[in-house]
Structure 1
């Protein structure tokens, strides 16, 4: 079945953080006359418009984390506990970014208790039945969502530089399936999300085991085939292995709904211009929208 809908699911957190840190490193916060820093939001808009120009979506939805606590913290209280508070210049820009997205008639979607990833996963499953979905993010974890009709577009340095993955390009490059990525993270853990996986098993060993035994179940059924060291590490950390898998998997059944009518991409130039001017975005016609 051919489809004309091209839906872009935007990882709002990833774009905002990336844009903020790109200029914050040199203390360039673009503080306007009201004392509001706007560097993150300005840069986020640049990323967004560049991607829209490149991928020409018919529909756009922007997904957000809602607060810092999610079901993963209930499972494992140390989840992401290694992350400090965001810089004070970024904090007011979270709400500001949503306001600006809203001024473009793009729905802001989030669900308490879930991360933006889970919202993107849920919507990608729903939409991909009838449409082509592009996930715009900087987060490699999203690659586990690849399936027919779902591509992941990873932001690279600069504007308009992307690493785009479909299911087959991922398998070709990584040697494993998107689904196996969850088990890979469960085995090796994830230091940025602060869960350990199996202590002493790194990416190389984890990949080797998955290529041979397919998944965690296959590995556990063949423990007697493993080296003594591998076996004892896995047996020692068995509970953590199962828990890490739950933490690694993007939850695609979040309770949210965003109709395609609401997501239809249509910019009201007057509404957008008023918002950009109110925030004192300099040269936005040239730098952001490319007019």
Structure 2
């Protein structure tokens, strides 16, 4: 795995290079600033599999550098690990919103750094395996197939919403919050009702459109407060909110549903694409270990799915859409 490390402190770069080598990563290129790193990347002579970016740098800081790197076509999904002594929630939140996939704190611990690099390598290997399969696809004239080109369970990427990040990155973000800051956070999930039926009827573009419309409605409702969100597949979103007071899931569900009803979404053929959502009750996270984070997310999704089942079994008011005369 080829690694780019960026830090304005030469001692830190030396330590990083030595520690990475000790855990088996010897191909590390170092840059002393965000500007020099961008120049290197724009030349395109070297392609990096992973990046380690310091946040607190003069000129282009690590968060801005992360955002700029994400705009480069070759690095939209490259693992980016932020490095900093800063542990306040604001910097962590901003880093993940900029596109960071993980976070490591100074002073560095070799065990932690090894774990972060191993996780990044797993992402790199998975992407390489997918890329290796693509050339082997039959190049003969394909039959017309309008079904989505991805599985319902896939964690598809949603564009255009700054506060939605990868599912794995959301777990890493929650892991970085201290116990004290976790008490000021909550996790809840949103499930798209009848997602299986929508997937069965939709093309890839239509399904992405449906999921994006739901994400946009959730974002509209939450944008006034600090939050991060990820699409977990199977029509489920997981939200980490910074509000200390637990939200009323019924009130949030009603607000987002009203926003969706106003959109009057349709399939490409003009048939109505009825989008309904179910909100699970919020959970106060316990995230000292990554496994516990995943369990918290699983519990949140299960609560949203239980809400879907409850709505199916109980009578509910019919949502009436107003059509312009």
TM-score (norm: length of structure 1): 0.29
The answer to which structure has the higher strand fraction is 2
Higher RCO (C-alpha 8 Å, min separation 6): 1
Which is higher, the Rg of structure 1 or of structure 2?
Answer: 2
TM-score, length basis structure 2: 0.27
